[in-house]
Structure 1
Amino acid sequence: MSDVALLPVLPDLLEPGLSLIFCGINPGMRAASTGHHFEGRSNRFWRVLHLAGFTPEQIRPEDDHTLLRYRYGLTTVVPRATARAAELSRSEIELAGEAFQRKIEQYAPRYVAFLGKMAFSAISGASNLEWGRQATPFGGAHAWVLPNPSGLNRGFSLDALVAAYREARIAVASAP
């Protein structure tokens, strides 16, 4: 049996009626092994979330459950942990998409924010996605595509990530 098969599944941090659910592609190895979202040393998620105004302080990965206090949740499209999202095949993401859509419908957030274009493109069939709010809802929620904050994604500076996430926060805060 491989070490990957022994990794626990990263638990979702969800409850019904959240303002927004952040959706990663899949858990990283460190996140799966510790049971905490965005645990990787180089992942910028928690810093970006704070700097964009989603949280009044920077949450530590081991305190990820406190995000629910602010009416935000965390999940992934594909539950299988990998060192890099590129290890997932498009078909694996597509297959996970139906169950993921049912999850979003069940929890009924106002918004779902995909962290990166890869998963949303695969499960929606959309190509040439733009960053930001999408014209088509997903699972009954307004869909948003944000840059992936992974330390492996250096195509976006910290300032660019914060600006993109701030735009989403403002939209969520101003929605009825």
Structure 2
Amino acid sequence: MLTDIITHNLDVIFCGINPGLKSADDGHHFSGRSNRFWKVLHQSGFTPYEVEAIHDTSILDFGYGLTTAVARATSRADELSKEEFDDSLETFKTKIHEFQPRYVAFLGKAAYKAFSKKKEILWGAQDEDFCGAKVWVLPNTSGLNRGFSLEDLVASYKEFYLAIRE
């Protein structure tokens, strides 16, 4: 089971699609060997050093939190059904209303597509808020996401980092 790392009034809550099996097993976000989240977060400016997954709760010290759209762990996000996203939406909305982050950053398009009911979503800033939070869609850092190199990921996350600092 993977526990949210979340508190009130964060700058950003990063929302993964769902936990990978390794993360769920060891209880730490983005702990899979091939996941590039912590490296990308550091290289794009969000953290002054690369946080180790075992110290994932320290992300709160920087004003960021972590959650997932769907709680069920899988080896691949495409194993989730539309119904699982639908069933998770109210819980997710309640969480965002309660904790009131400035931004929700969806990691990958799948969760935001399911939650917003939009057919097409562009990367980056979205036009509408989600439960009072601004929305940004970032590429997923999973090692299974071969469409984005480390450099591409860092560039996308850096754009977001600079935008929230304005």
Matched residues in 2 for 1:25 and 1:101: separation?
Answer: 15
- Tell me the residue number matched to 2:58: 66
Residue 115 in structure 1 maps to residue 107 in structure 2: yes
Report the number of matched residues: 166
Task: Give the TM-score of the pair, scaled to structure 1.
Answer: 0.93
Match of 1:18 among 1, 10, 34: 10
Match of 1:53 among 45, 56, 65: 45
Matched residues in 2 for 1:167 and 1:91: separation?
Answer: 33
Matched residues in 1 for 2:83 and 2:72: separation?
Answer: 13
Could you tell me how far 1:95 is from its partner in structure 2? 1.5
Could you tell me how far 1:99 is from its partner in structure 2? 1.0
Task: Give the TM-score of the pair, scaled to structure 2.
Answer: 0.98
Matched residues in 2 for 1:101 and 1:127: separation?
Answer: 20
Matched residues in 2 for 1:96 and 1:172: separation?
Answer: 27
- Tell me the residue number matched to 1:147: 139
Task: Name the Cα RMSD after superposition.
Answer: 0.6
Matched residues in 1 for 2:62 and 2:165: separation?
Answer: 11
SS at match of 1:154: coil
- Tell me the residue number matched to 2:151: 159
- Tell me the residue number matched to 1:42: 34
- Tell me the residue number matched to 2:120: 128
Matched residues in 2 for 1:97 and 1:172: separation?
Answer: 25
Could you tell me how far 1:90 is from its partner in structure 2? 1.3
Aligned-pair identity (%): 54
